[in-house]
Amino acid sequence: MVLLSLILLPILLLLLYFIVRPRPVTIPIKNRHVFVTGGSSGIGLALAHQAASQGARVSLLARSLNKLQEAKESIRRSSGLDVSIFSADVRDYDAVQKAVNDAGPIDVLVVNQGVFVPQELEKQGLDEIKFMIDVNLMGSFNVIKAALPLMKERKDRLPASISLISSQAGQVGIYGYTAYSASKFGLRGLAEALQQEVIADNIHVSIVYPPDTDTPGFEKENEVRPELTKLLAGSSGSMKADEVAKKALDGIKSGSFTVPCNFEGHMLAIATAGLSPQRSFLMAFIEVASVGVLRLVGLFFQWNWYQTIENWHAKKNSKFAIIELSIYTLE
């Protein structure tokens, strides 16, 4: 058995070396135009800082002009470089298209905007659901569609990149994330299909899966998270925006399709690889070799989550029963 494994291993590695697609690539950043949506704060601003420090020409798009001006000044202070800023709502295609045309051809597009209002579906208003889908998903379509024509016409013909910032909630659904997960899961389908459409133009798509990230938006989200959401999602820990930005930019530069940001993210990336593109034959080997084990691990996680949900509801029902009994006794 061991001998057979030793014979099959190099054959499998050789096979994977020849069949992984797209082929490995390096995306240059220095002296290239990096356009970041949602770039006035959080991950987007942190990524803009790092791109500028590596010699990129940076453009930022966000809704608030005041926050954009503050972001511009902070990048100027840290890197000595000026950046272009554009105030637009990603839900407004015409406004996005004007901003993109004014910015000029883009080499690296980072689609980073995102909103999140955690709530159970039954309790959440349709206006909030639509807001998340319009910003997170439709906004991404608007930005990419506006940028693609000029990206395809870029003069240097060096490898270009389109990166979508998703979430680990775009890999696995969690209680209270119903609408948000739907909007982030959609980005993967967009990314996989788009990669096939733009590969002939030497444009390479990445999708980044950050965990909870310490940003102003995360602080607001924590204030309204359902109790069960905190119990289920709180165990994965959080990262600083600078840490996520570094992982994202490294993934973009290496042309990786899937870009995880921490250990849990790597495990999720392998467990949910499915039919997603894979440039690294070594990573493809890990996916092939570990898929069965990680499925078992995933089932244990599901068991733990559903046990937590069951216990929480039992505790909640017990409290209601005690209250009702107390009222009945008083009567």
- Of all residues in the chain, what percent carry a pLDDT higher than 70? 93
Q: How confident is the model at residue 111 (pLDDT cuts 50, 70, 90)?
A: very high
CA distance 178 to 181: 5
Give pLDDT, residue 325: 46
Q: For residue 10, say if its preceding peptide bond is cis, omega within 30 degrees of 0.
A: no
- Among the listed residues 184, 206, 247, 256, the single catalytic one is 184
Give the distance, in angstroms, between the CA of residue 102 and the centroid of all CA atoms in the same chain: 26
Is residue 53 annotated as a catalytic residue, yes or no? no
3-state secondary structure of 85: strand
Please say whether the beta carbons of 37 and 110 come within 8 A. yes
Cβ atoms of 86 and 18 within 8 Å: the answer is no
Catalytic residue at 155? no
**Catalytic choice (59, 180, 206, 256):** 180
The pLDDT tens digits for 227-263 are 999 888 866 678 999 999 999 999 999 999 999 999 9
Which amino acid is present at 269?
A
* Whole-prediction pTM: 0.92
Per-residue pLDDT tens over the stretch 183-196:
999 999 999 999 99
- Write down the mean pLDDT value for the chain: 92
List helix spans (H) across 134-201. Answer: 139-152, 178-198
- pLDDT tens track for 86-100: 999 999 999 999 999
184 is catalytic: yes
**Average pLDDT over every residue of 309-330:** 69
Query: So what's the pLDDT on residue 221?
Result: 77
